Amino acid sequence: MASFLTLRLDEKIRKRIALIAHRKKISSSEVVRRAIKAWADLHEPVTSPYQAISDLIGVVRGGNRKRSAESNVFSVLRTIGEESQRNGTDSLSSRQIDRIIRSARSRKKVGQKRRTKKGNF
């Protein structure tokens, strides 16, 4: 059930919201709701990779039906989600995940350079 929230906005922001609402042909309240949702999604960690894209599953129609059955994408995503819950990584934010990936890639590059040098001697 929806509830009310009172906000104090300065005139400049109020005008910007009204302008966006007019351009998008939606209410000012909807603009504020979408902005708050986007901010919360950015700052609140996703529960699991599977849940992050679960609303997209089944959206696309058409194409080769055998292809999705052969690749078994849904079971792979479910497995990834379950594994992330077991490992405790299901509550990481996208920023945290990006940092981990960058760190691992930089360590891998350093290791590759060292191996190349040893091989040349």
pLDDT for 16: 95
Asked if pLDDT for residue 72 goes beyond 90, the answer is: no
pLDDT for 65: 62
Asked if pLDDT for residue 22 goes beyond 80, the answer is: yes
pLDDT digits (tens, 9 = 90+) for 88-100: 777 777 787 778 8
pTM of the shown model: 0.40
**Other beta carbons within 10 Å of 81:** 19
59 phi/psi in degrees, rounded to 5:
-75, -40
Could you give the CA distance from residue 45 to residue 91 in angstroms, rounded to a whole number?
6
Percent of the chain at pLDDT exceeding 90: 24
Asked if pLDDT for residue 24 goes beyond 90, the answer is: yes
Structure tokens at 67: 């292809």
Could you give the CA distance from residue 9 to residue 40 in angstroms, rounded to a whole number?
19
Average pLDDT, the chain: 77
Asked if pLDDT for residue 79 goes beyond 90, the answer is: no
pLDDT for 71: 59
**Other beta carbons within 10 Å of 12:** 8
